[in-house]
Structure 1
């Protein structure tokens, strides 16, 4: 069905910015925001979302000095406040330990009487005791007369130096650099995602129980879809926690509220889903197509935040955080953020595309998914514009393979 019959949305629709208020905590990753679905009007969202200062902004507003801001995402183990210390170069070098061992050996030479050998002296084995008495077999008898004295000739002890042995601890293999983790992560070679026959929950997000049922269903599906790929990347899979919230929520990544979007906090590996937002989107408009848009919007938001969890498990999230902190300019720092956010959407749409037949993503659902991946505005220049978001979301949806989501390997133009 041609999308032209729906036409453009009626009039200008203000776009809520990304993120949520910050409290000087490790950053979290906020989901992108979209316009309501197209056709037949309906008022824009009544409560615009509060803007999120870009990374590096302080209390003085966007662009000011200070730590990472809430709405960006905290790598595991991040600081509880302020910025992490700048890196002071590479890791420690292995120390080569050389142990010089010189063994001095003495050779004891003992004479044996002429009665035993027809020689003046015999270089026999050395023994530790001078009272050594030879042992004979059962049928043997001593051949040395007890009354005959024994002449002993002692040769000088020779000192034979031994070549020193060198014992060294092997140098540990250097781990992947931050650039390796984002640009050459093994996840990109993990292969295509297999369908898990995920079906949309029959509950509708018209109330708290309906929204929670949708979150639980999506979490179950995503926890089946990603473990195999994460394992192939060499990382250990851990399912995230999902925390629905209304009003104000306090997290290790800062304090948020339901005037902002859902977000992911890497410190406690938790996806925070905004109940107020999802229920409000579904109930705001009476038209059925708008309700389909609200359901697709919730699906994409949840999958996007789960994409941040995959980045966290595979090291991409923390590595990107460090790279952005060391960026020589705010422009490059923001570009690093856009690469991360566009990849999270691409990862999310790998899951949606892999299960498009069973969910299903067809007809009006497919149309509304296509609408929302394009119609959004990047107010803070930290998530990517609509054209580039559609490019990466479509790549994930059609390719269903993390290899198509390497946003760190493309030119700046692809992540504007």
Structure 2
């Protein structure tokens, strides 16, 4: 794998532009920040990964209450609840009843107490994968798009219930390679899909994911069952959830403010491991219908013991042990607040 450079974040703008505006202006040079879930260990000979990691003890708390160690004031976003979609009807007679203004919803967009942590569990969904070969571009692309719609169906109701405005991500799926708003996909020497917050798009190359790209081995050389790749797309969808809930904004602000490289890397690992936990939640929500039988569940847990930071490169995605731990956390605990990596012990996000 070619050396991956960790780009320095740009200077903070003094204007009032939002953080996503900053991200949009620099993403051409910072695409590596959003190439998500690097398979470093895939280049090593497969070694037994842990599938017995201990779940993380995340305290049950009310997300609207700011943690005492969180900076004042915590970020918020105020929006108006959507008007009713009921068809309008002419009143039978003059109605002098005062019309109340739409309710205002104040969302907490901070890392530790984000409104998303109120969302609870993902509903059980009927999302059957069928018999799909990951080595067929047309079959794998169709499965990615189908399961993407299932992810919409899972996340939309629980987010909207909390007043979070939902919009689905876009997809750009190539057989070999392409170029998008965040650069080439796959990136040079990489085969991973990635989420681009500049245009809310998940980019992926089916050929690279299945067979590899250059010196980077493909997922198909680690796990041939399509659930492995789909779980990675669920991770990327997790980044979309982070984006529309304000988590990614808050992460980027914290990254700009971090005074050391190690601090920036620690923040990156928490962002990535949280997305992995969100991915685990979704895989559990479709386990009965996909289906994920006992054998494939064991394969998934083993798979997440093989992915993570590559020795000698920036520790920006978390160790193999912790990738396994947070995927299992999402699968076994299946509650949004259980994916709060920002409140977890540092040993679980290393």
Structure 1-normalised TM-score?
A: 0.57
Preserved CA contact (<8 Å) 1:311 1:317: yes
**C-alpha distance in 1, partners of 2:250/2:163?**
16
Between the aligned partners of 2:224 and 2:342, the Cα distance in structure 1 is 30
In 1: Cα distance, 2:327 partner to 2:129 partner: 20
Query: Which residue is equivalent to 2:145?
Result: 216
Q: Is 1:415 aligned to 2:349, yes or no?
A: yes
Once the two structures are superposed, residues 212-235 of structure 1 have per-residue CA deviations (whole angstroms, 9 ceiling, x without a partner) of 111122112111111012213321
2:275 is matched with which residue? 344
Q: 1:16 to 1:222 in 2, by over 3 A?
A: farther
Deviation at 1:300, TM superposition (A): 1.5
- With CA pairs under 8 Å and 6+ residues apart, which has the higher RCO, 1 or 2? 2
- How far the C-alpha of 1:210 sits from its partner, in A, is 1.2
Bigger share in helix:
2
Against the structure 1 CA distance between its residues 221 and 17, is the aligned structure 2 distance closer, same or farther, given a 3 Å change threshold? farther
Shift of 1:305: 0.3
Rg larger in 1 or in 2?
Answer: 1
Q: Return the match for 1:31 from 27, 32, 37.
A: 37
| Corresponding residue for residue 243 of structure 2 | 312
Number of aligned positions between the proteins: 264
Structure 1: segments with no counterpart, 5+ residues: 1-14, 41-88, 92-172, 282-288
Of residues 283, 304, 310, the one that matches 1:373 is 304
| 1:324 to partner: Cα distance | 0.8
Q: Does 1:384 align with 2:315?
A: no
Residue 303 (structure 1) aligned with residue 252 (structure 2): no
1:70-219 equivalence runs, <5 A: 181-219=110-148
Q: CA deviation at 1:290?
A: 6.6
Distance 1:369 1:37 in 2: 18
Whole-Å separation in 2 of the counterparts to 1:389 and 1:16:
22
Q: Which moved more, 1:231-240 or 1:31-40?
A: 31-40
Alignment of 1:250-399 (within 5 A): 250-257=179-186, 259-260=189-190, 261-280=192-211, 293-379=224-310, 380-399=314-333
Which range moves more in the overlay, 187-196 or 270-279?
270-279
Task: Provide the rounded CA distance (Å) in 2 between the counterparts of 1:90 and 1:185.
Answer: 9
**Structure 1 runs of 4+ off > 6 angstroms?**
15-22, 36-40
Distance (Å, rounded) in 1 between the aligned partners of 2:122 and 2:160:
12
Give unpaired runs (5+ residues) of structure 2. 8-26, 48-72, 76-103, 213-219
Q: TM-score with structure 2 length normalisation?
A: 0.67
Contact 2:185/2:205, CA 8 A, preserved across alignment? no
8 A contact 1:231–1:237 mirrored in 2: yes
